[in-house]
Amino acid sequence: MAIAACIDLNTLDNLSRTCRAIHQGLLQYRKMLLVSTLHCCNEDLPVDEENTLRYRARAGNWFYMQDISRTNYTGKSGECARDLVSECRRCGTVVCRNCAIKPPAPIVLRDRHRRLCASCTKAPLGRLVSPQLPPDTPVDAEQMQQAICKCDSEGVWLCQPCGRTIRSDDYDYKGIWRWRNQYGEVLGGLGTGIGDADRGVICGRESRCLGAQVREQETDCDAEDARLEADCSSSPPSSVHGPPSTASVAGSLHSSTTTTGGGGGSSSEFGSSLGAYSPPPGHRTPSPAVGPGYARHEIEGIGGVVKTKLVRMVRVGACVPEWEDEKAKGEILGRETQGRIRSWCGWCWRVIPGKKDYDAAKERAAREKEAGKAGEGS
């Protein structure tokens, strides 16, 4: 039963077809095995009957999946399947074929590549997988094959939250390289500073990069709070988890201020005046619950406007190399798309081995074969 809980009905059917003895052994516990197979994580959720046909049709249309404003649907548009269930290749959530995203077209597989820095390119392949494997593990080993990217051979298997924005992320990443090819390090005989130190394109593994360093990052608090407020307002209350944002804290404080007061008339008048006030469009009242402190710094900007900056230390990946031949041709990630060097998959967040990795595995297999022949001859 422990093995049956880790496989779906298709795998169980293939297992029963291996030999007659296994088929007879599994047939005795047929009812228990069918119930114990892998289940989708959304199986207990109710089906939204009103939007079943609409969102099931949209699930197969990439026009709706690329538009973030159209992908705020978090319900369940159909019954979960039991014949094809597997873990998401990115987050590990168990989803069925009805809850997984529609696989992208084969022509866009080249857009999933992300360039790696020198540290991640030269490191053993076992250090780039999760969980890490021994450094001498070849690329053709079974453990390594389960940990590397297989989007081109076995297909894309991602849950809806992980797969909604893969195409928009690809477009943004390619836009960065188009901008880098247009603006170089030198402009009019003077250095622009682009590409120096940590001002280039960061590694595709981002904070998990082997050469990542801790850097200071500044974020506009008003923009960050407005983004959190928009995310909380667009998402349903049942799907919001975790600590409340500053906007929600401000809303709770506002409601508690207007409702409390021990029945006095002044408090009710004060609450009614707040309720009647409507701020101008595009204006967001700063949250009184979060003031300046160690992480939030007040900075006086242009025109005497005081803004709040959120300063925090984050891990930033190392800069990746840039090749002059690609700049001259206007080519983007040519070595990665051709499989000549190691790259990172932006869809499943797994490493894509390069030609050197496969050549090293072939040389190792050849050496082991020669050593075996020498041992038999002696």
Torsion over CA of 74, 150, 116 and 355, rounded to 10 degrees?
Answer: -170
- Tokens encoding 143: 């453990």
Higher pLDDT, 240 or 65: 65
Report the alpha-carbon distance of residue 46 to residue 37 in Å, rounded: 21
Position 31 pLDDT exceeds 80:
yes
- Which pLDDT tens digit goes with each residue over 106-126? 999 999 999 999 999 999 999
pTM of the full structure: 0.73
**pLDDT of amino acid 244:** 43
- Which pLDDT tens digit goes with each residue over 232-280? 655 544 443 444 444 444 444 344 444 444 444 444 444 444 444 454 5
State the DSSP string of 169-182.
Answer: HHHHHHHHHHHHHH
**pLDDT of amino acid 144:** 95
Place 56 in a pLDDT band, splitting at 50, 70 and 90.
low
- Tokens encoding 23: 């088929």
Cβ(129)–Cβ(145) below 8 Å? no
Cβ(376)–Cβ(370) below 8 Å? no
Torsion over CA of 247, 253, 254 and 260, rounded to 10 degrees?
Answer: 160
Higher pLDDT, 83 or 257: 83
- Which pLDDT tens digit goes with each residue over 209-224? 999 999 888 887 776 6
**pLDDT of amino acid 245:** 42
Higher pLDDT, 77 or 341: 341
Position 351 pLDDT exceeds 90:
yes
Name the residue ranges covered by the structural domains of the chain.
103-200+322-377
- Which pLDDT tens digit goes with each residue over 277-334? 454 554 444 554 556 666 777 888 788 888 888 888 899 999 999 888 888 888 889 9
Mean pLDDT over all residues of the chain?
77
